[in-house]
Structure 1
């Protein structure tokens, strides 16, 4: 049995290769229906901006090895179980499932690593599960409190999903900062009270409650290192900055000589592969995943899908994302 797999073969170069598939007795074979491209992490790999000595993801069985070329990468596949190994419960046969797998026409997997797709969630919506799970993790790490003013820098897919979850909290204001006008409109639709370009943030950050200058909680989700300075600058005394962006090998040159030190601002990284230590007493990856699926039902993630490409045209999909067309949000690969 063979499969066609997408490989990153060099800077801005991809290729589709036929590779053997040899499922074990404890695995199922899944025919892929749709997979989602991460415009953040995958573009770093595509552009050669990801550290090549870094493991692809030590928490995902399907992503072995490091990020050096050539590498098969991706982690958002939805498909149908078409066969089961002799050691697998026959009830898996025919199920539609989500898997953290690279882009490929079919794959084998241990059923325990799969998430059955709920009947109320479409295949395309389920392909956005990693973005919603990341957003769920960001909100858990940020620990938003009632009456707080929160600023989210970056209204890409993860930023918009984070805004959607945060909008369910009783906040004073939820502000999105995004240079692209169509993404600001999406931010408002996902629940932001205010959505402004970066140069207009100071105009809306005037004290809105009491005498607290600046935001209580700020998320940096733009993917641009220079934005981290803006995020710190928007944070008030004793405020928190959650950095969800992964910059890869792009350096972040921070100016920490102004208000950062005296204002006791906390700067914290957030990454979905692990749970924050203070959360591990009550939270597990399984519980977070279930919570993300529930949020997936509530959020209008289908509206974030702007482009679909047949798997055979995957190189064109990455070229489109690399050009950063203003109209591009979530790009999906489809499989017939």
Structure 2
């Protein structure tokens, strides 16, 4: 049996590398992957060659080494079973289902402390959404939606849709989503958005007419830097714009000469690798994990899981997300 690993070898070029199945060290376990989720946002930037090559892959994830220059392995949403354990590891880990922030590969070794056990009652496919659910929890924490507020979410990819689903269970007054793809707008409304609009419209005017005023809280998670201007323009006096998108090497050309200054609009980044300092006294990664699992259990997320392809067809998976995003939301790679 050989292990398979996905490598990004250049812009719009991936290959599947075969190697020996690794053996765990004394304090490690080996995981055999069942599925891994493709991140259309971050991995899309890498696939297109739009990620800054001198940036570390992720300094908070042990499995992601080096920088973002080609060739590289990447991915952070693998679900599988522990099939071997080192001499110093408790045998209770054997056959346990786990989530790992690990690149796309069929077998890997890891320190058990870096693995997140998958709770009972959550399917393996749904568990692959865990990293994105954790991001959505972080976005809601950082935005701090309050009762009666008007909230707008730009972008209805997986993270945007999960954020929409969480916000729909909060006491906000009006929840509006913005996305250029009709299918994703429809899913957003299924998840609880009051209205979903096309960015081709006059967004600030359209949202003001729907919500009865400008937004108190706006999320930009579309991955499109141009959307940030619309997000700012949509936000009212003393409102907050939470930027969950990572634009890579793409720059955002912002118009800050109009209402922005006088209206005291705050623009803040949100990123899941860390917990905002204002929350650290009460929130830990473990607590955030528990909340993410809780919502994965409560929500019906089948509409997100649109495609499954074996890792040998990974090139098709990335082309699907690039060329036919109206068909695909979350693509999973499988390892049978």
Same structural fold, with TM-score higher than 0.5 when normalized by the shorter chain: yes
Alignment match, 1:53: 54
Alignment match, 2:335: 335
1:112 partner SS:
helix
- Cα distance in structure 2, aligned partners of 1:67 and 1:179: 29
> Could you give the per-residue CA deviations for residues 75-132 of structure 1, whole angstroms, max 9, x where no partner exists?
0001111111100000111111111110001111111111111121000000010110
- Alignment CA distance shift 1:2-1:171 (3 Å): same
1:17 partner SS:
strand
1:94 partner SS:
coil
> Could you give the per-residue CA deviations for residues 132-177 of structure 1, whole angstroms, max 9, x where no partner exists?
0000000000011011000000011100000001111111101111
- Alignment CA distance shift 1:19-1:204 (3 Å): same
How many residue pairs get aligned? The number is: 333
What are structure 1's unaligned runs of at least 5 residues?
none
- Cα distance in structure 2, aligned partners of 1:241 and 1:76: 27
Alignment match, 1:92: 93
On the 8 A contact 1:98/1:115 being kept in 2, the answer is yes
- Provide the alpha-carbon RMSD of the alignment: 1.3
- Alignment CA distance shift 1:306-1:200 (3 Å): farther
Alignment match, 1:273: 273
Alignment match, 1:64: 65
Alignment match, 2:223: 223
Q: CA deviation at 1:325?
A: 3.1
2:127 partner SS:
helix
> Could you give the per-residue CA deviations for residues 35-79 of structure 1, whole angstroms, max 9, x where no partner exists?
000000001011110011101000001001111111000000011
> Could you give the per-residue CA deviations for residues 237-266 of structure 1, whole angstroms, max 9, x where no partner exists?
000000000000001110100110110000
Alignment match, 1:187: 188
- Cα distance in structure 2, aligned partners of 1:146 and 1:285: 26
Q: CA deviation at 1:324?
A: 3.8
1:205 aligns with 2:208: yes
Q: CA deviation at 1:303?
A: 1.8
TM-score, normalised relative to structure 2: 0.96
- Cα distance in structure 2, aligned partners of 1:66 and 1:324: 29
- Cα distance in structure 2, aligned partners of 1:254 and 1:219: 16
On the 8 A contact 1:207/1:214 being kept in 2, the answer is no
On the 8 A contact 1:124/1:302 being kept in 2, the answer is no
- Cα distance in structure 1, aligned partners of 2:88 and 2:60: 24
Q: CA deviation at 1:206?
A: 2.9
On the 8 A contact 2:33/2:107 being kept in 1, the answer is yes
On the 8 A contact 1:307/1:331 being kept in 2, the answer is yes
- Cα distance in structure 1, aligned partners of 2:73 and 2:302: 26
Alignment match, 2:24: 23
1:216 partner SS:
strand
Q: CA deviation at 1:23?
A: 2.1
Q: CA deviation at 1:200?
A: 5.4
